[in-house]
Chain A
Amino acid sequence: MSSGRSTVIEELRTRLDCLEAERVGLRTTLPFGVAEIDDRLPGGGLLLGALHEVSGGEGDMAYGAAAALFVAGVLARLSGPVLWCLMRPDLFAPALASVGLHPDRVIYVEAGDGRTVLLVMEEGLRIRGLAGVVGETDRLDLTASRRLQLAAERSGVVAFAVRRWRSRAAADKAGHSAAVTRWRITAAASVPLRTPGIGRARWTLDLLRCRNGIPSTWIVEACDAEGRLAASRVPRPADLVDRPAAAGAGRRLAAG
């Protein structure tokens, strides 16, 4: 009985997928190259021709530094020019180059405020052939995100809204959006090295919302020089146990 019901649901889901695919044309996805993440995403990767919302975690809400780098890493693995709309002029271009997004590919727009960023994004999403459109914005309501999502579907260009909040309260108040996925990128403690120094950065990726997918959390190693993430090799509880010892190592470095 239950298996019969699941077959029906499966059939319905396939038919819905077909209908949606018809509406938006052929859609492609960009895999992350990390099996654990790609397995959880519909289509086996990040949907292109759609709007994705990316925000920073606790402590990084106002700047979204990790979020911006995560987006740059995705775009580095696509080809074509990128339109990057800035709300505040604090993005440091060498960082984008360090994850493989070549400076020749990025056109910056200083929009000045969050509302103008949305207008510029929509204008950019009309152009086929862009690799992607990124907007750093402090406002993204349901209507605006719906417009961006439709524009992205029509042109097949991937759009990222990097959310930048003034305060924690503003972040809590933020309503729903029509974005296909919503990510939160938080810095995670790196694996301590045996020698003094700092290891490869790690991020906690929270997939908070995903259309046709399952929200999940992963800890990954941050983008490398070609924008690729990597599954974190060290089991999570172990490195937490290691932390105090690492702190001692850091202090020894400071003293010696």
Chain B
Amino acid sequence: MPVAQARASVPDLIVADADPACDLAGLRRLGEWMLRRYSPIVALDPPDGLRLDATGCAHFFPSEARMLADMVRRLAAAGIAARAAMAGTYGAAHALARHASSPRSVIATGTEPAALASLPIAALRLDPGIVDGLRRLGFERIGHMLNVPRGPFARRFGPDLYRRLDQALGLAAEPIEPIVPAGMPMVRRSFIEPIWTPEPLARAIGHLAEALCRQLSGEGLGARRLDLALHRIDARIEAIRVGMAAPVRDPVRLGQLLCDRLDRFDPGPGVELMVLTSPLVEPLDARQVESDLAGHEVSPDLSGLVDTLSNRLGPRRLFRLAPIESEVPERGGRRLAPLAPPMGLTWSADWPRPTRLLVPPEPIATFALLPDHPPVQFTWRGIRHHVLAADGPERIFGEWWRRDAELVAVRDYFQVEDEQGARFWVYRAGDGVDPATGSHRWFLHGLFA
């Protein structure tokens, strides 16, 4: 539509000249943000796309789908309506992001042919002329192209058609050129002969870590995150990303953290180039070492241990717990970062709390008098326990500000001891009088020592 016509139909239309250079610069800024947040390998896909190599990065998120959701949500908050897709090849992800019905799609590696079959051929990043020519022959969807002899088509439309198709299906390699933000600490090391065995790789990592730490120390910085890109001779780039709880500038420790992850790395036919960058740095000045001469207790430095474990297991697997004000036992704690400053809070010791909490509580068959007596006997997992002594009830009210259903909900907790001396934490849902407060069924919620 010409501008004049558009202006005629919408009088208040704002018109601006296209500025491709500015768009590209904006895309690049967005890419650098993605690099810090999501993946060590980010490449531009002008005019409007970004490609991320997310291999091994999704473990920072609960799942790959959640990673995409997080990405789209954050972009939306910045005013960018984004579509995202994750697949085993760049070509497939490119096609799905632009042509799939859902704005976010994740497909497993190897299922590309099935996932792409229903998409239009234009999704293959082809010249409009080729797409047009194929349409005239009656080929509209990618699925139509999968089972026809290749020869005649390749002769007629040139090699581009099948190169793009193979790239989307994972049959041909597609090298990308990752962006490197200006000013980011970076060291690289290339090899005359490709290397693939663990020892030379570890040695090279050691050298790179030393070189990077020299660079960081000149600027008074410490690394919070490291990206190691291993360029394989088959034009694939594998990346290892490690994060640190506090800035680190110790080459031995950084090298160790990276080498720890080598077991998940597939060197393929060999590595010809290694690039170590630190996308996240923080000031790290020389610090006075604490001394215990004065008799103070020196608190041990646990950041090394926390870094090692969280890089190996995933950052969510390490935590401390702090109490929160909640009546409901299973909501009584919240997770803190393992190295968060001490909270000084603890749980009230007024009521007994079991060592093991069963989630969800397990229903038990009981024999008990209403309204407020402990069970005389109960059966849990097929074993009958006679209650010889009991304490309670401790009444716990629902938290009405969370859910309407908890407005009148009540649990009556009892600590009971059986004839062997084993202690159990049982509760009755409801107050024993009013059925609105609960089902009056009994549950075992925890085991005492």
The residues of A with any CB-CB pair to B shorter than 8 Å are: 58-60, 63, 65-66, 68-70, 79-81, 83, 89-98, 102-104, 106-112, 116, 120, 123-124, 126-130, 185-190, 192-193, 197-199, 201-203, 222-223, 225, 243, 246-247, 249-251, 253-255
The interface residues of chain A lying within 8 Å CB-to-CB of B304 are 127
Are the C-beta atoms of A79 and B297 separated by less than 8 Å? yes
The interface residues of chain A lying within 8 Å CB-to-CB of B323 are 94, 97, 103
What would 8 more interface pairs be, CB under 8 Å, given A94-B353, A106-B321, A107-B320? A63-B355, A66-B355, A69-B355, A81-B302, A83-B305, A92-B356, A190-B389, A190-B421
Residue with the highest number of chain B CB atoms closer than 10 Å, among A92, A187, A188, A223:
A92
Q: Kindly state the separation between the CA atoms of A197 and B333 in the bound complex, as whole angstroms.
A: 28
The interface residues of chain B lying within 8 Å CB-to-CB of A198 are 389-391, 415-417, 423
Are the C-beta atoms of A65 and B355 separated by less than 8 Å? yes
- From 201 to 244 in chain B, residues with beta carbon under 8 angstroms from any chain A beta carbon are none
| Contact mask for chain B residues 350-377; partner A; CB cutoff 8 A; 1 contact, 0 none | 0011111111000000001100011010
The interface residues of chain B lying within 8 Å CB-to-CB of A249 are 389
A sample of 11 cross-chain residue pairs with beta-carbon separation below 8 angstroms, ordered by A number, consists of: A96-B355, A97-B323, A106-B321, A107-B306, A109-B317, A129-B301, A189-B421, A243-B388, A253-B374, A254-B390, A255-B369
Q: Select from chain A the residue with minimum beta-carbon distance to B447.
A: A65
Are the C-beta atoms of A197 and B391 separated by less than 8 Å? yes
Are the C-beta atoms of B417 and A189 separated by less than 8 Å? yes
Are the C-beta atoms of B420 and A59 separated by less than 8 Å? yes
Pairs A-B, 5 closest by C-beta atoms: A129-B300, A66-B449, A189-B421, A94-B347, A92-B357
Do A250 and B390 form a contact, CB below 8 Å, given A103-B322, A123-B308?
yes
The residues of B with any CB-CB pair to A shorter than 8 Å are: 297-302, 304-306, 308-309, 313, 317-323, 329, 332-333, 338, 342-347, 349, 352-359, 368-369, 373-374, 376, 386-391, 415-417, 419-423, 446-449
Are the C-beta atoms of B420 and A187 separated by less than 8 Å? yes
Name the contact of B317 in the complex, choosing from A80, A110, A251, A255 (C-beta under 8 A): A110
Residue with the highest number of chain B CB atoms closer than 10 Å, among A63, A69, A104, A251:
A104
Do A97 and B421 form a contact, CB below 8 Å, given A66-B355, A91-B356?
no
Are the C-beta atoms of B354 and A197 separated by less than 8 Å? no
The interface residues of chain A lying within 8 Å CB-to-CB of B352 are 98
Q: Select from chain B the residue with minimum beta-carbon distance to A120.
A: B309
The interface residues of chain A lying within 8 Å CB-to-CB of B313 are 109-112, 116, 120
Are the C-beta atoms of A65 and B356 separated by less than 8 Å? yes
Residue with the highest number of chain B CB atoms closer than 10 Å, among A112, A202, A250, A251:
A250
Residue with the highest number of chain A CB atoms closer than 10 Å, among B317, B332, B345, B356:
B356
Chain A nearest CB, measured from B17 CB (Å): 55
Name the contact of B321 in the complex, choosing from A63, A93, A247 (C-beta under 8 A): A93
The interface residues of chain A lying within 8 Å CB-to-CB of B358 are 90
Q: Kindly state the separation between the CA atoms of A102 and B347 in the bound complex, as whole angstroms.
A: 9
Are the C-beta atoms of B388 and A246 separated by less than 8 Å? yes
Are the C-beta atoms of A98 and B421 separated by less than 8 Å? no
Residue with the highest number of chain B CB atoms closer than 10 Å, among A97, A128, A249, A255:
A97
Q: Kindly state the separation between the CA atoms of A94 and B323 in the bound complex, as whole angstroms.
A: 8
Name the contact of A60 in the complex, choosing from B357, B415, B447 (C-beta under 8 A): B447
Name the contact of B349 in the complex, choosing from A80, A97, A187, A243 (C-beta under 8 A): A97
Chain A nearest CB, measured from B274 CB (Å): 26
The interface residues of chain B lying within 8 Å CB-to-CB of A203 are 449
The interface residues of chain B lying within 8 Å CB-to-CB of A112 are 313, 317
Do A128 and B345 form a contact, CB below 8 Å, given A90-B359, A198-B390, A254-B374?
no
Q: Select from chain B the residue with minimum beta-carbon distance to A247.
A: B388
The interface residues of chain A lying within 8 Å CB-to-CB of B356 are 63, 65, 68, 90-92
Do A92 and B354 form a contact, CB below 8 Å, given A116-B313, A246-B388, A253-B390?
yes
Are the C-beta atoms of A93 and B300 separated by less than 8 Å? no
Are the C-beta atoms of B353 and A95 separated by less than 8 Å? yes
Q: Select from chain A the residue with minimum beta-carbon distance to B349.
A: A98
Chain A nearest CB, measured from B42 CB (Å): 31
Q: Kindly state the separation between the CA atoms of A251 and B299 in the bound complex, as whole angstroms.
A: 53
